């Protein structure tokens, strides 16, 4: 077993770290305060190949592996979790299904712009009545001649207010249950009947837009069906498995930031005539944070390795997402405690890390659902 990174993996990790430290970290607090979409930063991320890391170069991507994806996601998310999730959605939830299930024409038309960073993608799945129970979605797509007519509303869609393209899940056969769900690629800027609805005012990841997508007799070309009719639910499950690796990576970035800032503060803050880093109570917090984050990172890298090698990784992705998000939330809370009163103030970024960490326990499948996925996988094998 070899834990060493390849030269390419080390290169992208170093590149992402330097870019994040130089370009993102200095403005992260202001982005959080203003809720402003970091368009300029995202454009630069696209130029660096970060918006289509695992997509082959012929489709606009960087042609790297999933380990590179995890390593770069951690570094970007360490500086700004909002930038991290924008990157994750494009890579995992949009690029993956278009590349995996799209035709050559769809890849050229709809994958290239997002993988190259020229445009943003989003994933239209969740609805107000269909969250964890995605099979209960009500958005419909009805074939009318050479067009699909779409009606429905999607909720909590990351990038939804700024995305040009969307992979959309809709019911094409109401009598078939989850087997009647299909996926489509939608050019949101050129779809009559589509509009952006409510943009949510959230606790955290404030520079990442979370929007409602509204379709009212919206028409898209017949050829925008992704794969075959009725394959959408299966496509969705596989897409979410990969998405969970992305969110685990985002959570690790948040947790790493909390750890690094706890270390830095504890060395400079003095009480009773010495740095608080000398006190066992603080040392134990830092030791536990570092240990749990390392464990979560190993789980995440294992899941990425399995995906890269085209091995089954549903359980492993769920494990990575579960542990990484729980550890990120816990590490951020502990970080606030290390900083004491300063941890509760916006003068320091620790309170932002705590607010940002919470969503990683919720989206891409709540951690309660992750435990169900893991348990079912284990029990099915016995």
State the greatest distance between any 2 C-alpha atoms of the chain, in Å, as a whole number: 79
Picking from 120, 139, 163, the residue at the C-terminal end of a domain is: 120
Give the CATH number for residue 297: 1.20.140.10
Say yes or no: 237 and 315 in one domain: yes
Q: Do 48 and 160 reside in the same domain of the chain?
A: no
Strand duo 210-221 + 147-158: pairing: antiparallel
**113 and 132, same domain (yes or no):** no
At residue 326, what are phi and psi to the nearest 5 degrees? -65, -40
CATH for 41:
1.10.540.10
Closest CA to 160 of 186, 121, 114: 121
Q: 163 in a domain, yes or no?
A: yes
Q: Give the whole-angstrom CA distance, residue 37 versus residue 162.
A: 8
End position of a domain, from candidates 186, 215, 230: 230
Statement to judge: residues 242 and 369 lie in one domain: yes
307 classed as catalytic: no
Q: Cα–Cα distances in Å, from 222 out to 138, 154, 176?
A: 20, 21, 20
SS3 readout for 326-372? HHHHHHHHHHHHHHHHHHHCCCCCHHHHHHHHHHCCCCCCCHHHHHH
* Domain interval for residue 150: 122-230
List 212, 314, 316, 364, catalytic entry: 364
283 and 195 in a common domain: no
- Note the pLDDT of residue 34: 97
Please tell me whether residues 58 and 108 are part of one structural domain: yes
Radius of gyration of the chain (CA): 21
Q: How would you write the pLDDT of the chain (382 residues) with one tens digit per residue?
A: 889 999 999 999 999 999 999 999 999 999 999 999 999 999 999 999 999 999 999 999 999 999 999 999 999 999 999 999 999 999 999 999 999 999 999 999 999 999 999 999 999 999 998 888 888 899 999 999 999 999 999 999 999 999 999 999 999 999 999 999 999 999 999 999 999 999 999 999 999 999 999 999 999 999 999 999 999 999 999 999 999 999 999 999 999 999 999 999 999 999 999 999 999 999 999 999 999 999 999 999 999 999 999 999 999 999 999 999 999 999 999 999 999 999 999 999 999 999 999 999 999 999 999 999 999 999 986 6
In 190-300, where do the E strands start and end? Answer: 194-199, 210-221, 225-226, 270-271, 274-275
The answer on 349 and 326 residing in a single domain is: yes
Flag whether 141 is in a domain: yes
In-domain check, residue 46: yes
Q: Is residue 223 part of a domain?
A: yes
Cα 3 to Cα 8, 77, 104, 133, 301, distances in angstroms: 14, 22, 36, 38, 10
Q: What is the pLDDT, as a whole number, of residue 129? A: 87
CATH number, domain of 134, equals 2.40.110.10
Q: How far apart are the first and last CA of the chain?
A: 27
Per-residue pLDDT, 181: 97
Same domain, residue pair 240 and 345: yes
79 and 201, same domain (yes or no)? no
| Pair (169, 245) in one structural domain | no
């Amino acid at each position: 077993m070899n834990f060493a990174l390849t030269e390419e993996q080390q290169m992208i990790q170093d590149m992402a770290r330097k870019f994040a430290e130089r370009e993102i970290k200095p403005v992260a607090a202001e982005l959080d305060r203003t809720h402003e979409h970091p368009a300029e930063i995202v454009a630069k991320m696209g130029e660096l190949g970060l918006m289509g890391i695992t997509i082959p170069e012929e489709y606009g991507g960087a042609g790297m592996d999933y380990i590179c994806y995890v390593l770069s996601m951690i570094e970007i998310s360490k500086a700004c979790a909002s930038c991290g999730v924008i990157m994750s959605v494009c890579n995992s939830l949009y690029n993956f299904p278009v590349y995996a299930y799209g035709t050559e024409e769809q890849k050229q038309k709809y994958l290239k712009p997002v993988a190259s960073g020229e445009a943003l993608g989003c994933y239209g799945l969740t609805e107000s009545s269909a969250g964890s129970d995605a099979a209960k979605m009500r958005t419909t797509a009805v074939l009318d001649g050479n067009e699909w007519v779409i009606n429905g509303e999607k909720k909590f869609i990351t990038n939804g207010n700024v995305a040009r393209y969307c992979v959309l899940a809709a019911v094409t056969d109401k009598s078939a249950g989850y087997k009647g769900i299909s996926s489509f690629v939608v050019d949101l800027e050129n779809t009559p009947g589509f509009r952006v609805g409510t943009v949510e005012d959230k606790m955290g990841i404030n520079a990442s837009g979370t929007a409602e997508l509204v379709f009212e007799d919206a028409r898209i070309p017949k050829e925008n069906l992704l794969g075959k009719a009725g394959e959408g639910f299966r496509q969705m499950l596989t897409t979410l498995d990969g998405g969970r690796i992305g969110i685990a990576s985002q959570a690790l970035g948040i947790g790493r930031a909390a750890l690094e800032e706890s270390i830095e503060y504890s060395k400079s803050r003095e009480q009773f005539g010495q740095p608080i880093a000398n006190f066992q109570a603080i040392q134990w917090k830092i030791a536990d944070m570092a240990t749990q984050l390392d464990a979560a990172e190993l789980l995440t890298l294992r899941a990425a390795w399995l995906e890269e090698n085209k091995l089954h990784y549903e359980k492993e992705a769920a494990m990575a997402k579960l542990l990484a998000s729980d550890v990120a939330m816990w590490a951020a809370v502990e970080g606030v405690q290390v900083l004491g009163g300063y941890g509760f103030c916006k003068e320091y970024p620790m309170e932002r890390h705590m607010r940002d960490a919470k969503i990683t326990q919720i989206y891409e499948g709540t951690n309660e659902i992750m435990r169900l996925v893991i348990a079912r996988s284990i029990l099915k094998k016995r």
